[in-house]
Amino acid sequence: MSGAASHFDEQAARYPDSVGEDFTQAQKWALIAAHASAGALALDIGAANGRHALPFAASGGRVVAMDPSPAMLARLAGRAAAAGHGARVLACGGGMPDLPFAPGRFDLVYCFATLLLLPPRAQEEAIGEMAALLRPGGTLIVDVAGARSLSIRYWRRYYRRRGLDGVFGRTQDGVMALLGRHGLSVQAVHAHGLLSQFLLLPGLGGIGPLVRCVRGLPGRPGLDAALSRVLPGLAERWYVVARRDGGDD
């Protein structure tokens, strides 16, 4: 995990701190927001600079924001204090698969763009820990990379060149089985990235109108979301909402 910490330390100064300018990024927050209510206690794993933890606190929730990167956490704590949310955001150093919290305490656990950095066995362990941290009936929101996507090779090479293990995906059926093994019932799956992964090809990502048309805008799906919905098995990423079994709600 120290490799990840130093890589993301370097990213901290320029990592996006808003909830996102395209449909795919904004949908992360839209899913979290559906569970962001006064008094809810959340765990944000891979919280980075607090791009989701701060709005969660602003909505009246309390959040433990965990990340192995000291520089990310320093930005998160500074931003939370500046926004007057210091009392509702607890910055916590550490990372998956070791989640040192008491079981059954959280209403919501969310984890975006982070699980894919772990090898398959560590992903399995981390999902088991996330499930155990939820109260019965609590909600897990997590994204999982698609093993059959094209871009997984690009991102694997990108991270390996930077000294990390790479990125690791699963099949859609594999994701369902993984969650089921840990007592999590899938409520919703949102597929992304089938088309937008081609924007990684040289030159295409710089064509603004094309990028907007493919990626869409917050609240307005682009071509990517439409195509990913038709062929979800080939998506680059699935955003999954799952509920821990038990509980009344």
Ligand X SMILES: C[S@@+](CC[C@H](N)C(=O)[O-])C[C@H]1O[C@@H](n2cnc3c(N)ncnc32)[C@H](O)[C@@H]1O
Site of interaction with ligand X (CB under 6 A): 1, 4, 8, 28, 45-46, 48, 51, 67-69, 72, 95-96, 112-114, 117-118
C-beta of residue 96 within 8 angstroms of C-beta of residue 45:
yes
Alpha helices per DSSP H over the chain: 2-11, 23-33, 53-58, 70-82, 120-133, 151-161, 172-181, 208-215, 223-230
Q: Given the complex with ligand X, which of 25 and 172 has the nearer CB atom?
A: 25
Q: Given the complex with ligand X, which of 1 and 210 has the nearer CB atom?
A: 1
Q: Given the complex with ligand X, which of 40 and 155 has the nearer CB atom?
A: 155
C-beta of residue 104 within 8 angstroms of C-beta of residue 95:
no
Q: How far is the CB of 68 from ligand X (least distance, A)?
A: 5
Residue keyed to tokens 């919501």: 108
Q: How far is the CB of 14 from ligand X (least distance, A)?
A: 12
Rounded Cα distance, 67 and 92, in Å = 7
Which tokens belong to 73? 């956490």
Q: Given the complex with ligand X, which of 69 and 151 has the nearer CB atom?
A: 69
Q: How far is the CB of 114 from ligand X (least distance, A)?
A: 4
Q: How far is the CB of 174 from ligand X (least distance, A)?
A: 20
Rounded Cα distance, 6 and 25, in Å = 24
C-beta of residue 112 within 8 angstroms of C-beta of residue 28:
yes
Q: How far is the CB of 169 from ligand X (least distance, A)?
A: 15
C-beta of residue 136 within 8 angstroms of C-beta of residue 111:
no
C-beta of residue 240 within 8 angstroms of C-beta of residue 188:
yes
Q: Given the complex with ligand X, which of 7 and 135 has the nearer CB atom?
A: 7
Q: How far is the CB of 249 from ligand X (least distance, A)?
A: 26
Q: Given the complex with ligand X, which of 162 and 212 has the nearer CB atom?
A: 162
For 3-17, give the DSSP string.
HHHHHHHHHGGGS--
